[in-house]
Amino acid sequence: MRAWRFVLLALAGCATTPTGPAAPLAEPESDARALCAVLARVRPAGSTSALSAHVRAPIFGAAKGDIRDVYRKTAPATVLIRAGDSFGTGIVINAKGYILTNHHVVAPAQTVDFKRRVTVERGRLGANGVMELDPTPLPAWVLKSDPLIDLAVIKLEAPPADLHAIKVASRDPVPGEPVSALGNGGIGLLWAIKDGEISSIGKLSTHLAQLVAARCEVADKRTADEACKRLNASADLEKAIIEREVPGLVIQTSCTISPGDSGGPLVNRASELVGVNAFLRSDPRAPVTSNFHVHVAEVRKFLKDVPAEAVAVVPDPLDLMPFARRLDVDGDGRAELLVDGTGGQANVAVELGSSGRGIDPDLAVAWVQRRHLAWYDLDDDGHFDRVVVQEEDGQAKAWALGPKLKLGKPLGAARLIDAALFTGPTRARMAELVPVVSRLVGGGDAADPRAIPPAAELALAPPLPIDSDRDGKTDAFYVTTLSGARLYLDPSQRTLPGMTQKAAMEGLQKGTLATDVQLFTVGNRTWAFIGSAEHRLALWATANEQVVEEAFFLAPEGRGAAKPELFGVPLFRALARTYRGEELARLLKGFAQASGRVAKSSQYPFPVPQVDVTFEPRAEPSGVAGLEYSAVSGLSEFADVTGFVFELNAEALKGATPESREADFKRGASGTDFAWVGFGDWQWYLYDVDADGTFEAVVIVHGDQVEGRRVAKDGAVTVDAKLSGGKPLKPALFPDARADAARKLGAVFFRPGDLEP
> What is the per-residue pLDDT for 446?
45
> What is the per-residue pLDDT for 445?
44
User: DSSP letters of 456-501?
Assistant: ---BSSPPEEE-TT-SSS--EEEEEBSS-EEEEE-TT-SSSTT--H
Looking at per-residue pLDDT, the higher value among 610 and 65 belongs to 610
At the topology level, CATH places domain 31-302 in Thrombin, subunit H (2.40.10)
CA 630 to chain centre: 34
> What is the per-residue pLDDT for 343?
67
pTM of the model: 0.58
pLDDT in tens, 368-426: 877 899 999 998 888 999 999 998 788 899 999 999 899 999 999 999 999 999 998 89
**Mean pLDDT computed over every residue of the chain:** 81
CA distance 622 to 738: 15
Which DSSP category does 74 fall into? H
> What is the per-residue pLDDT for 639?
60
CA distance 494 to 487: 16
pLDDT in tens, 725-746: 999 999 999 999 999 999 999 9
Enumerate the β-bridge partners of residue 99: 92, 154
> What is the per-residue pLDDT for 593?
72
Q: Is the pLDDT of residue 46 over 60?
A: no
pLDDT in tens, 495-551: 999 899 999 999 998 889 989 999 998 877 889 999 887 788 999 998 878 899 999
Which DSSP category does 61 fall into? G
> What is the per-residue pLDDT for 121?
96
CA distance 449 to 461: 24
> What is the per-residue pLDDT for 1?
26
> What is the per-residue pLDDT for 56?
32
Name which of 630, 619, 451, 579 is nearest 525 in CA terms: 451
What residue segments make up the domains of the chain, in order of their start?
31-302, 323-441, 464-595, 609-754
Enumerate the β-bridge partners of residue 526: 521, 541
Least confident range of 95-104, 223-232, 370-379, 445-454: 223-232
Find the DSSP H helices in 43-179: 67-74, 103-106
Q: Is the pLDDT of residue 245 over 60?
A: no
Alpha-carbon distance values, 639 to 111, 228, 616, 636 (Å): 30, 34, 10, 5
pLDDT in tens, 556-583: 888 899 999 999 999 888 888 878 788 8
Least confident range of 258-272, 444-458, 475-489, 685-699: 444-458
CA dihedral (7, 13, 14, 19) positive or negative: positive
> What is the per-residue pLDDT for 37?
36
Long-range contacts of 132-138 (CB under 8 A, 24+ apart): 133/80, 133/190, 137/82
Residue 508 neighbours by CB distance under 10 Å: 22
> What is the per-residue pLDDT for 206?
60
> What is the per-residue pLDDT for 534?
77
> What is the per-residue pLDDT for 469?
79
Q: Is the pLDDT of residue 615 over 60?
A: yes
Summarize the confidence of residues 95-122 as an average pLDDT.
Answer: 93
> What is the per-residue pLDDT for 229?
58
Give me the phi and psi of 436, to 5 degrees please: -65, -45
Beta strands in 97-214 (DSSP E): 98-101, 110-112, 115-125, 131-146, 151-156, 178-183, 192-203
User: DSSP letters of 569-598?
Assistant: -BHHHHHHTT--HHHHHHHHHHHHHHHSS-
Q: Is the pLDDT of residue 297 over 50?
A: yes
Name which of 514, 503, 564 is nearest 539 in CA terms: 564
Give me the phi and psi of 647, to 5 degrees please: -95, 120
> What is the per-residue pLDDT for 94?
95
CA distance 564 to 229: 58
Name which of 419, 422, 382, 432 is nearest 404 in CA terms: 382
pLDDT in tens, 27-44: 333 333 333 333 333 332
Q: Is the pLDDT of residue 64 over 50?
A: no
pLDDT in tens, 168-206: 999 999 999 999 999 998 777 899 999 999 999 987 666
> What is the per-residue pLDDT for 239?
56
